[in-house]
Amino acid sequence: MSDLKADPMPFSKFEWLIAWRYLRARRSEGGVSTMTWISLIGITLAVFALIATLAVRSGFRAEFVGTILGANAHVSLYSHGEVNQAGRLDRRISDYAALASAAEQVPGVVRAAPLIKAQVMANRGDRNAGVQVYGMRAADLVKVEGVAAGEKAEGDLSRFDEGVAIGTGVARELGLRVGDRIKLISPNGVRTAMGTSPRVKSYEVVYIFSVGRYDIDSVRIYMPFDEAQNYFNREGFADEVEVAVEDPEAIDRYVLPLLQATGSAYGVWTWRDASGGFLRALEVEDNVMFIILSILVLIAVMNIVSGLIMLVKNKGRDIGILRTIGLSQGSIMRVFFLCGSFTGIIGTACGVILGCLFAIYIDPIFGFVNYAMGGGVWDPAIRGIYALPAQLQIGDVLSAVGLSLGLSFVVTIFPARRAARMNPVEALRYE
């Protein structure tokens, strides 16, 4: 008795024992085990959904950005152009070797390569497809990580100067394999006295690559740089210079040094400029999804309030007795606060475990769902990538945990205060 009157420390052992006893109580004893289980399951599912969504969001962005950076230039250097004798703006670069050399001198630049880009028609037999041809030197192509290091690549890239390298989508569309020949048809071909006639030429497929993005694999063909100059009437010229840097996520800090190194005649176009609209849309979608799922977590933790209100009502006599023998309002409040917090903590822990397992084993889970639905659940032509990615990040997990626990603790305070302010005389009057 004297220990209780001495105003014990907050969250003393006896407060934990009382809270745990109330949580384990059966309904016949005045407990609310059913409501506790409902709250627990609701919080678990809400946290699981939040972590799973955040993991997929992070994985999708990482996969999208990774495939962009693995197959495309981090920065493209282009000419502002000059008006030629025909009155057209000519953006071709004649001093591309010097321009590439100047760009490589910028700290942080790992590669600078002249490039020729053009669109043509590809043909094999009775099959046709529109493709985009990239003219690049063999020594530069082997440094393009997404092309040279692809897991699904076929053929020998060392034979690149003997033919062309095509994406898996192009190969599938035209029915091509390594060693077959592909016919390229360009409307801007040989110039004659009668005008420009289409240019048609066939090449051996020496390499088939997959960078992991449908919109690249289905249209891209790499051609040796010298051959591209001849085929597209670019003798002595390049269309742009492709630059790769050490830290593409911090691409903005390379822009000014590149401009200073290359001169005022050239401009820069970064990968963020090319994909900025999509990335901004993805960021807005991420924020909206987080808000929606946060509301879902809030709805789940509100079940704790219902359970605690019922518990306080059922334990009115116990509260009166505990107050009579010396427990303070603070102790009563902490007892019921612990009851609600237990539910929030356990539900959050279970949700984190399920969410992490989902992110880790997303491939077999997605494979099972795809099999159960009869296939075709994920269309790479729409999504841009071949599978649903997920990437666990500690920041996402901590934000989900913080949100769930924070809401659980806050909503628990109100019914706990109601229990603490209960008049012991009124609680025992009719007992």
pLDDT in tens, 168-214: 999 999 999 999 999 999 887 666 656 667 888 999 999 999 887 88
**SS3 helix, strand, coil % of the chain, rounded to 5?**
55, 20, 25
pLDDT class of 321 with cuts at 50, 70, 90: confident
Classify 382 as helix, strand or coil. Answer: helix
Report the pLDDT value the prediction gives residue 3, as an integer from 0 to 100.
45
**Lookup result for tokens 């505990």:** 322
**What is the rounded average pLDDT for all residues in the chain?**
82
Query: Is the confidence at residue 315, as pLDDT, over 80?
Result: no
Mean pLDDT for the stretch of residues 334-349: 85
Q: Name the packing angle between helices 271-314 and 33-71 (round to 10°).
A: 170
Higher-confidence position of 104 and 84: 104
Report the pLDDT value the prediction gives residue 381, as an integer from 0 to 100.
53
pTM: 0.71
pLDDT class of 56 with cuts at 50, 70, 90: confident
Beta bridge partners of 280: none
Query: Is the confidence at residue 72, as pLDDT, over 90?
Result: no
Classify 123 as helix, strand or coil. Answer: strand
Alpha-carbon distance of 166 to 178, in angstroms, equals 9
Query: Is the confidence at residue 92, as pLDDT, over 80?
Result: yes
